[in-house]
Amino acid sequence: MTKQQKAEVIDFLTAEFKESQAIVVCDYKGLTHKELESLRKSAKENGAKVQVAKNTLVTVAVKNAELGDVELSGTNVFLWSEDQISACKVADKFASENSEKFVIKSGIIEGEPADLARVNAFAKLPSRDELIGMLLSVWTAPARNLVTGLDNLRAKKEEEAA
């Protein structure tokens, strides 16, 4: 890899990490190409991004993005997303499906270092779309109950009239 290519990777990762709310570091040793592509597809569907890069380049990119210091070793794949939950959910789901070959090591969530427990905690939270669905359900409950009550009253009146 030339110096120019390394600089391009660092610039790309720095820009991406500045925009992201969560970065998850995982060990992928032993994954096949097909399994790694499955991870990429899953990440893309959930609004997260995946990159395999040299640890030294990622360390520089994290420093440039002003996210603190991160110590990296071994084979790592990096997942990140604009929200805190997507990357954590993708990593957690993939880790549960491929527990022998894919291990969540650590992460950076909202600019703070995160251990495995914190990444898993964020993975258990509902996504933005799920939260909107819950809120919509709460908002429509009074109208739904009113309609059900009126329908029951109509049925009762028709029964009494017959």
**According to the model, what pLDDT value does residue 66 have?**
86
Q: What are the domain boundaries of the chain?
A: 3-125, 126-161
What is the C-alpha to C-alpha distance for residues 136 and 157, in angstroms, rounded to an integer? Answer: 32
- Predicted structure pTM score: 0.75
pLDDT tens per residue across span 95-112 = 888 888 888 998 888 888
69 pLDDT higher than 80: no
Sheet strand arrangement including 22-27:
48-52, 76-81, 22-27, 103-109, 112-114
Task: Please name the fold of domain 3-125.
Answer: Alpha-Beta Plaits (3.30.70)
| Partners of residue 99 on adjacent β-strands | none
Beta-strand relationship, 76-81 and 22-27: antiparallel
What is the C-alpha to C-alpha distance for residues 78 and 20, in angstroms, rounded to an integer? Answer: 12
Per the CB < 8 A criterion, the answer to whether 109 and 123 are in contact is no
